[in-house]
Chain A
Amino acid sequence: MSTTDQPAGKAEITQWPRATNTGHLHGDYFPRAARVALADPQLRRNIGNATTIIREKRGSVVAELDDWAELRAAGAAIKDATMADLGDHLERLETEVAARGGVVHWAADADEANRIVIEIARRAEARDVVKVKSMATQEIGLNEALAEAGISAWETDLAELIVQLGDDMPSHILVPAIHRNRSEIRDIFRREMGNVGVPAPDGLTDDPPALAEAARIHLRNRFLTTDMAISGANFGVAETGTVMVVESEGNGRMCLTLPRVLVTVMGIEKLIPTWRDLEVYLQLLPRSSTGERMNPYTTMWTGVTQGDGPEEFHLVLLDNGRSTILADPEGRPALRCIRCSACLNVCPVYERTGGHAYGSIYPGPIGAVLSPQLTGVADNPSLPFASTLCGACYEVCPVAIDIPTMLVSLRAKVAADPDSGDARERAVFRSAAWAMSRPQRWTRLLRLMRLGRFLARRGSFRNLPPPFNGWTATRDLPAPPDQSFRDWWTAQRDGGGDA
C-alpha cells in the first residue's frame, strides 16, 4: 500500500512514496540499448518503411483541415484547463459513472491498480480475461500481475497479439509490433497460435489479409466465451461520465460489448471536462495517429446500459506518478498527451533505434519526457538525452507539447542530480563557466586547445582520454581549427585582410 492516511499537503508533494512497482517504464541505459538496436538492419528497415508510410498518410489528412492550427491550440488549452481543476473533474466523473451503475476505484500506483483488478476478477470468478490494447495496463504490468494470480490475460489487438505470442515487448505506442515485418509475423503465428488456442490455418502465407484472417479465427471463440474484459480509455468526459475507446479492428467492440464484466483502467490525465470537447479530439487523434480521417470504430459508453453490453462496469482511476508530474510546471504539459504516436513517426532517433531501446512502454520523444517524469529522473537518467532536439515532434504534436524544451529542462535535472549526473561532466562545465566568464581566460583557453589538434583524426576526436571520454563515447568532437574566429577577426581588423 503506497497511500498515506493523512491528506497530502503541498509540502508532501515530493514525498509521495515511490511505488514499489512502477511497471514497464525503464530499461537499459539508452546509448547501450540503442547500439544493440542499430546493429539490426532488419529492424531498421521495418521501422523505416512503416514510419515513412504513416508520415505521408498523416501529412495528407492533416492538410485536408484548414483549421488544424486552431484545433491544435484548442486541444492543448482544453487539456490545460482540465488539469487546473482536475480534482473537481475527477469527482464529477466519479459521480456520473456511479449514477449510471458503474463502480469507480482509485489507484495510487501500479500495485494498487493491479490488486483492484485482480480482486474484481476473483469476484467474477474469471480465469481468463480478454484485453483491449491499453497503454495504462502495460504501464502497470497488469498482465504479469494477473498471471501471478493465476489469471490468463489475452491480448486481442492484432499487434498486441503478435507481441504476446512472440513473447516480445511493444515498440510503438500505436503499433506495438512495428518492429516485425509480415514474414516474421507469419512465423510467429504458425509457431505459437496452436500452443495457446486455435492454431494458424494450414499453409498460412505472409499476405496481410491472410494474417488478419488468422487472428480473427484464433480469437473468435475467446470473444464469445470470455466473461471479463479489461480496457484502457482514450478519454473520459467528466460532465457525463462517458468513457471512450478508439480502435480499428473491432476487437475493442468485442471486449467492450460481449463480456459480462468490464474493467477500464484510465490514467487521471485522460479526462476532458465536457461532451463538446470531444469534437476537438475526435478530429485531432485519428488524423495524427493512423493518418485516417476517422478510425474504423469508436465506442462510447456511460456506466451500464441494461440489456446492452456488460452488466458490471468498473473504472479504475490511476495516478502512478501523474500527480507528481502535475506539480511540476515545466513537466506538466506532458500530461496533455493523447497517445497518438505522431512524434515517434517523425523522430530521427526513434526511426533508427526503434522503441525497445527506450526500455519503457512509452518510447520515442513523448516517452523520453514521460517515462523519466513518471519514474523520477534518477530511475531514467539516459532518456532525456535520447534526442537530437530537432523539434519535429513538437511540430506534429496535436496538443502542442513542446517536447524539445522539456527535454532540455529534464537534462538539467539529470545533470544536477548527484545520483544520476556525471561528476566529471559537472566539473568540466564548471571549468568552462569559469573560463568563459573572462574574455582573456577564454582566449587563452582556445589557444591552448589548439595544441590538442594532433590527437584528432580527419578533423574530429573519436575517443578523448579520461576524464573527457564520456563525451566522445556517443559522439565525435570536432577538432579545434588552427585559427579561431577571434584570432582571425583580430588579424583582419589589425592587418586589413582580404575579407
Chain B
Amino acid sequence: MPDRQLVDTPFVPATRTSRQAILDRVRAATAGFEPAPVRRDYRQAGAHPQPDPETLLEVLIDRLVDYKAEVTQCAITDVHTAVTAFLSAEEAVRVVVPDGFPDEWLAGSTDSESGLVRLDDTGPLTVDELDAADGVVTTCAVAVAETGTIVLDAGAGQGRRALTLLPDLHVVVVTADQVVARVPDALGRLDPRRPLTWISGPSATSDIELNRVEGVHGPRRLRVVVAESG
C-alpha cells in the first residue's frame, strides 16, 4: 500500500534535508576509497563435490534432530500416515491447514473418526483462532541440509507467516527435491520479494547463562516429514 499519504506529512520534509545531507556526507567520506575487489573463493552454489541425494537427506535429518526437531522419513505416498502420526502423538485436534496443502497428504486424517478439526485460512483466521489451534501443517520452499534449515516463502501449502507462528506445533513436509546442500544453494531458489521465514529447529533461547533452551514464543515443537519419491 504505497499510497498511505505518509510522504506528504509535515515531518518528512525535515528528513528529506537529512537525506541529502547524509548522502552528501557519505559520498564525500568515501571519495577515492577503492577497496580490493571481492573474491568469492568460498564454496559457492553448486560447488563440487555435491553430496549424493542419500547423504543429503542423512545430513539434513542429523542436523534437524540435533536441534531438537523430530523427524520421520517416508515415501511420498505415505506422507499422510506420517503427518497423522505426528498430529495424534501430540493430541492435536484443531489443525490449521494453509491453502494449497495437498489434500492427499491429509487424506484419512480429516475423517470424523480421526477427530481432526481442520481450520482453513479462508476468512482469514483471527490471531485468537490461530492462538487456540493445536497445530499447523505446511509444505516448505527449500531445505538446507548442512544447517538443518527449512525455508517457508508463504507459497502454496505454507500460507501467511502468522499461520506457522501462533500454533504450538508445526508439522512440515519436506520433499527430497527441495533439499539443497548448503546456504548458497538455497538463495538461488528463493524469491526475495516474498516474505521468507528460515526455521532451524523449534523456538529456542540462549539468554539464560548461554545455555540453549527449546521453546519460547514460536512453535515449541517442530515435526518434520522428509518424503522421498518412489
Contact = CB atoms under 8 A, between A and B. Distances in A.
Interface in B23-71: 23-31, 33-45, 63, 67
Interface stretch (B72-80, B103-111, B214-222): B214-222
B147 A158 contact: no
B81 interface: no
A149 interface: no
Given A87-B27, A296-B218, A299-B196, A178 B210 contact: yes
A84 to B, nearest CB: 5
Contact of B35 (A8, A53, A80): A80
A73 B30 CA distance: 21
A8 B21 contact: yes
B209 A300 contact: no
Nearest to A305: B195
A119 B40 CA distance: 43
Nearest to B68: A296
Contacts of B208: 158, 182, 185, 208, 211-212
Given A292-B200, A294-B148, A240 B161 contact: no
Contacts of A158: 205, 207-208, 216
A290 B206 contact: yes
Given A49-B209, A212-B205, A297-B198, A258 B162 contact: yes
A38 interface: no
B135 interface: no
B38 A282 contact: no
A304 interface: yes
B15 interface: yes
Which of B6, B198, B207 neighbours the largest number of chain A CB atoms within 10 Å of its CB? B207
A86 interface: yes
Given A254-B217, A323-B26, A116 B11 contact: yes
Contacts of B125: none
B25 A13 contact: yes
Contacts of B114: none
A175 interface: yes
B213 interface: yes
Interface string A256-286: 0110000000001000000110111011001
Contact of B216 (A77, A251, A302): A251
A213 B220 CA distance: 10
A119 B12 CA distance: 10
10 contacts: A7-B21, A49-B210, A81-B37, A103-B7, A123-B9, A248-B203, A249-B204, A297-B203, A308-B161, A327-B30
Given A209-B214, A212-B215, 20 more contacts: A3-B18, A13-B25, A67-B43, A77-B39, A86-B26, A90-B26, A116-B11, A158-B216, A159-B207, A224-B127, A290-B206, A293-B147, A294-B198, A295-B200, A300-B196, A305-B194, A308-B154, A319-B22, A319-B25, A326-B25
Interface of A: 1, 3-5, 7-10, 12-13, 16, 46, 49-51, 53-54, 67, 70-71, 73-74, 77-78, 80-81, 83-87, 90-91, 98-101, 103, 105-108, 112, 115-116, 119, 123, 156-159, 162, 175, 177-178, 181-182, 185, 208-209, 211-213, 215-216, 219-220, 223-224, 237, 240, 242, 248-251, 253-254, 257-258, 268, 275-276, 278-280, 282-283, 286, 290, 292-302, 304-309, 311-312, 314, 317, 319, 323-324, 326-327, 329, 332
